[in-house]
Structure 1
Amino acid sequence: MTAAALIAAVAAFAPLASAMQPNAVPPLPAPMRPLQWGQINILHTTDTHGWHGGHLQESQYSADWGDYVSFADHMRRRADDDGVDLLLVDTGDRVEGNGLYDASTPKGEYTYDIFRQQDIDIICPGNHELYQADTADREHHITVPNFAGHYIASNLDYIEPETGKQVPMAKDRYRAFQTPNQKINIVAFGFIFNFTGNADNSYVQPVQQTVQEGWFQYAITKEPVDLFVVIGHVGARMGELRVIYEAIRAKNPDAPIALFAGHAHVRDAVQFDDNALALASGRYFETIGWMSVDGLETKEAKKAKEAKEVTEVKTAAAPTVSFSRRYIDTNLLGLYYHSGTNATTFPTEKGLNLTEFIAAGRSNLGLETVFGCAPQNYWLQRRSIEDPDSLFSLLKKTILPAAIVNKDRADKPRVIVMNTGSMRFDVYRGAFTRDSTYIVSPFISLINYIPDVPYKLARQVNYLLNNNGPILSSLAAEVAAKGMDDYTRGVDWREMGVPEQYAMKEEEENSAGAKGSIKGDSGASQKPLFSRRSAPGSDSDAETGRPPLVAGYTTRDDLGDDGDDAIHEPLPHFSLPNCIEADVGFPEEEPETVDLIFFDFIQRFVLMALAFAGGNDPGAKHYSESDIQTYLEGKFTDYLLDWIKTNWKDECQKQASSS
């Protein structure tokens, strides 16, 4: 059944009796902090990556997109009753990362219909909408029409395949509108960071050039505006967002600016100045961001005030704009709390129908098909990479050596280099399903290699990728000048790691200086980092006598440590290197040559590292793309699944017997 037919069929039946997905774990209560309302109130999602069915194994994030639809309806009703305004924004990366998107052919058969059921006022693209040409096509032909008039592509163009003509991804470079209740004039922009890994049918104009365009200058100087709203798929602390802020501020010294960030997968708030705040709202539909803005004066009110002050002595201080932020867990109990509802009054017909549609789509895609059972939890960043409970420790020591084997070259020593960004989520004890496959590694990671590389060069690659990115970047122009093709262009070493590293870099440096972090060849902190992602508690449950807290985000940002709506038990969070290395099949003595194996996504970085490792040695081979061969046919997840089916199949019976 097609997605369109399925959604029509679901709507014909009576609504479900309850929210969430039927196999999601029940939500658990937590002490709550209320939302602060203002004249303008904004709900923010970002980097949802297909997680619209919710987190079925995590109680604090188990609400689904249908529940968000119900929640937004209640919040809009309250805004209307109070005479204030509510807006919804989304800052991209809606695709890749969950079976609900990745398991269908074509991809996104269900998720495009799911996502559009939410009424979003301002929406922009992310880099994951652009990696593959067919994904960019669907963005242009499906998502843009779904949100016509609300989709903003300030610095993104689409290349029409029939004509080769470059056109804006969406009609609107910016949006100027007035809110219905407060009559606030808003000028909104939608950006993506200076992304260079996009498919050939798209073009990302550097932000620094975009803000010089005539249309942008017109928007910030000529349009009536009481509040600028900048949404962008760009980290809150990345330079591109500051470029946009400074361009607006240069022509509008006092104008309020609300900025909404993404890409870095963290909860964060950055205070640019007293009248400008940026909010980042997490990842994977764990978080719904909340920002309220108060103390705004409309243009009409300002004119009336100025006219009055011509004849009257001014005695009162000018009103001060204030911002409030909150990070809302996608926990059904929390959504009840904030919307003033309960299990009976919360679900709306539209939300419940969407929840059932999501369940039907998951069923049609076979996402609950079990391939094996994990014997324990394996964490992405809650443990250091050498810890037995780390997913990367399992990969390095067990999975990669056993799964990545070319039978024709099995007798050759091999060095396998894997970028940590190719893994995206934890593995939980219990059933490893078809859905788990896409959650853990959603990418089409092809396995390439260079045969018979001198080990004295190969052994330096992982170290260089983790520790000498700035050195290699500085050499990119020199290497390119020697004729090493165009893979040296647009080098950003952070692309190899997990997105959280964009935001964690500052914390890692601070931690290294203040806490004496251990750094070795991994190029990552081996002590937990607590600041923006999580902060240590001061008292134990036993000391305070409080009920046990659910583990989760305990965020510190520029506004303090009270941003999370739910009070959580803090989690450790370790920085990761860009890459890990597995050495396999080595003889007792150091080998002369090895097969250097790596994912295709990082091959340009590997070639750069080899060039640097060769240095000025006139006898060192100059490696180029012509030296790269396919090591195994198919993608990495095929071999990961084979390993799981072989090694974790019997674990399911063991767990069933012991439960």
Structure 2
Amino acid sequence: MIFSRIPLLLTFLHVASAEQPSAPSPISAPLRELPWSKGRGSINFLHTTDTHGWHGGHLKEAQYSADWGDYISFAHHLRQRADEDGSDLLLIDTGDRVDGNGLYDASDPKGKYTFDVFKEQKIDVITSGNHELYLANSSIREYDEVVPDFRDSYIASNLDIYSPKSGKLEPFAPRYRKFTTKNSGIRILAFGFLFNFHGNANNTVVQSVQETIKEKWFQDAIREKDVDLFLVAGHVPVRDSEESDLIYKAIRNAKWDTPIVFFGGHTHIRDYRKWEKKAWGLESGRYMETLGFLSINGLSSGKRRLDATTAKSPVYRRMYIDNNLFSLHHHSGTNHSSFPTEMGKNVSEKIEKARKKMNLDEAFGCAPQDYWLNRAPYPANDSFLSLLDTHILPDTFTAALQKPSIVISNSGAIRFDIFKGPFTIDSTFLVSPFTSGFRAIRNVPYGAASQVLQYLNNQGQILLEDLVALSVDPTMYKLDDLTPPLPPVGLHTLERVTVAGHKAFAPRLIGRSESEQILLVNGDKDAPALPGYTTRDDAGSDGDDTIHQEIQFYDVPNCIAANIHFSPSSNKPLVSEEHAELRSRQGGTVHLAEGTKPETVDLVYNVFVQDWVLLALQYLGHDYGKEATEEVLEGQTMTDIISGWVRDNWACEGEK
């Protein structure tokens, strides 16, 4: 049966609530039907990626409030459905399960509770992301705990580790997996790749995809007989990715007609890419907001051989499921009472107990309004980055530094929005989970220091990408790493435009999709439209399971800066006149008046941007090595700085 794409309007409201007691109840909204495939030759997939510790769900966003226990229950019901109709269901996870939520980051050691929670879900193919590898301790815990939990399902095609026991370099996990599905007998050959990552700790080795696909084991694997489907999972974008294209071409050089399916990650977006009619790839967002769904109908298999003269191309379909109980109940054909499974409830209880043990709901203060990372223009009164460089950085560093200084941070140090209301221990890890502190280069000539921000933002006499190209090792610089992840929609179908003077993203396609028109004809035209992701990909604009009111996303700079101990008469703003006026209006440190400039300043920056800062200074004629830098703020991280500032400046109602 092929399910209708005509949306269903859910008419009940606040009947169900998420498993975490403090999570908001989801709100009903127009839903599209799950494109489930049933019968022989049919396979269905659920995909998660870039969950970054959000296994407790979103406790301030009703649309994404289901937790990992709910996902376990959801998968259970879909597996039952597959068993009943003769199809198969496989679960895929493509990495970055760590860094970004108190449930993972607040424990000692990190991940103390999340590993036990995560392993309760049966996953058929799982890979590492780059965040599992930044720190040696993280990769060792992944290798010692997660890999054994998932045994043959964990695949590491281009990742090795120096064994904690033997000290010898060995594969992180099996290079590939060949298996046959339970019901349809579809024979799958699966790989698990990581993009060409260079920021890993020195106890792991990431081999480039270019070199990996030349190896004998890979060339032999893609030529194996009796393969009905190649499955390429990995922490690799599905679009604009040299790595994915190389893997696709290598498989096609060996097997010109065997269907291929890719599951990607890393860019935090919803996306669906078509290579050709028998090769598609899905990317499923971020932060447990999205459960990606993909189905394929019409595959050949060991139980169902298709005659070459009558066989048709397999049909691929996708959906991005908003992770809340209204969506999960509907797509699983359950309700409030029939949905929870025993295992799902147990996992939700584990999450609740872990959150209580770590006091994640304890508040430092209360935000007076929402502050957006890229849902507000920069600069603006509701921009998180403006809050950072007009208040948080100046207030923090004015007391810590003794002379005129420029403090720089990349905007990618901020990962999420601040919502009005309590700013909790959990919130600190949501907005900035990274452990790197700040360093300084003392007595840098002002003329050079004042230009660094411009170069980092691609606004200097030479663009940052040109500087990188001139460096000794251009591969160590990945410019996208400076900024926050892009808005979680298929950005290849968006274009950068100017909205009220600000750079923003807008769809190239104008007007309602066919399914949205059907909604207005057959549904309630006054039904609430929730703000949410509106994805346009290679299959069209009907992939989101919930029909959303579109959100506007804005471009943000690579880096921001604050001037410290600059008097009004001696300061030249490092930012636009508009932003300088905003800072002055809000009591910040930048003023428009110009006068004498300091001869030298201390250039302070968060450690993540050190290589870029040194590169820009080198181009400007000042060659500082890393040995010329020193720690400031006694190693405090951005997480520490933000939580301390909130505690000192945002009292909750009723507090003095």
After TM superposition, the score normalised by the length of structure 2 is: 0.87
Residue by residue, what CA displacement relative to the aligned partner does 1:467-522 show, whole Å, maximum 9, x if unpaired? 12221111102xx7xxxxxxx662222221123289888567x43xxx46799xxx
Counterpart amino acid of 1:23? S
Q: Indicate which of 179, 184, 187 corresponds to 2:186.
A: 184
Change (3 A) 1:579 1:183: same
Q: Indicate which of 168, 172, 175 corresponds to 1:173.
A: 175
Distance 1:507 1:596 in 2: 39
Correspondence for 1:530: 506
Residue by residue, what CA displacement relative to the aligned partner does 1:114-166 show, whole Å, maximum 9, x if unpaired? 00010000000000000000000001000000000100000000112454311
Correspondence for 2:645: 643
Q: Does 1:599 align with 2:606?
A: yes
Q: Is the 8 A contact 1:40 1:85 kept in 2?
A: yes
> Matched residue of 1:86: which SS?
strand
Q: Does 1:31 align with 2:37?
A: no
Correspondence for 2:425: 434
Distance 2:507 2:421 in 1: 31
Alpha-carbon deviation of 1:47? 0.4
> Matched residue of 1:471: which SS?
helix
Counterpart amino acid of 2:485? P
Correspondence for 1:336: 329
Q: Does 1:419 align with 2:422?
A: no
Q: Indicate which of 523, 536, 539 corresponds to 1:556.
A: 536
Q: Is the 8 A contact 2:405 2:604 kept in 1?
A: yes
Correspondence for 1:224: 226
Alpha-carbon deviation of 1:530? 3.1
Alpha-carbon deviation of 1:536? 7.9
Change (3 A) 1:347 1:101: same
Alpha-carbon deviation of 1:402? 0.4
Q: Is the 8 A contact 2:415 2:485 kept in 1?
A: no
> Matched residue of 1:528: which SS?
strand
User: Which structure 2 residue ranges, 5 or more long, are not aligned?
Assistant: 1-15, 570-594
> Matched residue of 2:177: which SS?
strand
Greater shift after overlay, 86-95 or 540-549? 540-549
Counterpart amino acid of 2:369? Q
Distance 2:197 2:312 in 1: 39
Q: Is the 8 A contact 2:467 2:616 kept in 1?
A: yes
**Which residues in structure 2 correspond to 1:121-140 (within 5 Å)?**
121-140=124-143
Alpha-carbon deviation of 1:439? 0.5
**Which residues in structure 2 correspond to 1:11-50 (within 5 Å)?**
19-38=18-37, 39-50=42-53
Q: Is the 8 A contact 1:264 1:503 kept in 2?
A: no
Counterpart amino acid of 1:440? V
**Which residues in structure 2 correspond to 1:86-235 (within 5 Å)?**
86-170=89-173, 172-235=174-237
Residue by residue, what CA displacement relative to the aligned partner does 1:90-137 show, whole Å, maximum 9, x if unpaired? 000000100000000000010000000100000000000000000000
Greater shift after overlay, 41-50 or 380-389? 380-389
Change (3 A) 1:504 1:286: closer
Distance 1:531 1:223 in 2: 44
Q: Is the 8 A contact 1:187 1:223 kept in 2?
A: no
Alpha-carbon deviation of 1:387? 1.2
Alpha-carbon deviation of 1:565? 0.3
Residue by residue, what CA displacement relative to the aligned partner does 1:321-342 show, whole Å, maximum 9, x if unpaired? 1100000000101100000000
**Which residues in structure 2 correspond to 1:566-585 (within 5 Å)?**
566-585=546-565
Q: Does 1:72 align with 2:75?
A: yes
Distance 1:382 1:252 in 2: 44
Q: Does 1:293 align with 2:269?
A: no
Distance 1:327 1:531 in 2: 18
Counterpart amino acid of 1:609? A
Correspondence for 2:483: 497
Correspondence for 2:471: 476
> Matched residue of 2:503: which SS?
coil
Distance 1:148 1:182 in 2: 23
> Matched residue of 1:352: which SS?
helix
Distance 1:305 1:569 in 2: 46
Greater shift after overlay, 157-166 or 240-249? 157-166
> Matched residue of 2:619: which SS?
helix
Distance 2:65 2:302 in 1: 43
Greater shift after overlay, 629-638 or 418-427? 629-638
Q: Is the 8 A contact 1:45 1:289 kept in 2?
A: yes
Greater shift after overlay, 578-587 or 599-608? 578-587
**Which residues in structure 2 correspond to 1:452-471 (within 5 Å)?**
452-467=443-458, 468-471=463-466
Distance 1:223 1:113 in 2: 38
Counterpart amino acid of 1:591? P
Residue by residue, what CA displacement relative to the aligned partner does 1:594-636 show, whole Å, maximum 9, x if unpaired? 111101111011100111122xxxxxx3211111011211222
Q: Does 1:53 align with 2:56?
A: yes
Alpha-carbon deviation of 1:319? 1.1
Counterpart amino acid of 1:630? E
> Matched residue of 1:143: which SS?
helix
Correspondence for 1:609: 616
Counterpart amino acid of 1:380? L
Residue by residue, what CA displacement relative to the aligned partner does 1:249-301 show, whole Å, maximum 9, x if unpaired? 11111111110010000000010111111100000000000000111112564
Relative to total residues, which structure has the larger helix share, 1 or 2? Answer: 1
Change (3 A) 1:457 1:504: farther
Distance 1:517 1:572 in 2: 10
Aligned residue-pair number: 599
Q: Indicate which of 272, 276, 285 corresponds to 1:273.
A: 276
> Matched residue of 2:506: which SS?
coil
> Matched residue of 1:221: which SS?
coil
Q: Is the 8 A contact 1:225 1:299 kept in 2?
A: no
Alpha-carbon deviation of 1:420? 1.0
Identity of aligned residues (%): 47
Q: Indicate which of 260, 282, 290 corresponds to 1:257.
A: 260
Change (3 A) 1:504 1:550: closer
Distance 1:599 1:507 in 2: 33
Q: Is the 8 A contact 1:387 1:393 kept in 2?
A: yes
> Matched residue of 2:97: which SS?
coil
Change (3 A) 1:335 1:542: closer
> Matched residue of 1:546: which SS?
coil
Q: Is the 8 A contact 2:35 2:317 kept in 1?
A: yes
Q: Is the 8 A contact 1:431 1:652 kept in 2?
A: no
Alpha-carbon deviation of 1:72? 0.3
User: Which structure 1 residue ranges, 5 or more long, are not aligned?
Assistant: 1-16, 307-313, 481-487, 520-525, 615-620
**Which residues in structure 2 correspond to 1:357-396 (within 5 Å)?**
357-396=350-389
Greater shift after overlay, 342-351 or 626-635? 626-635
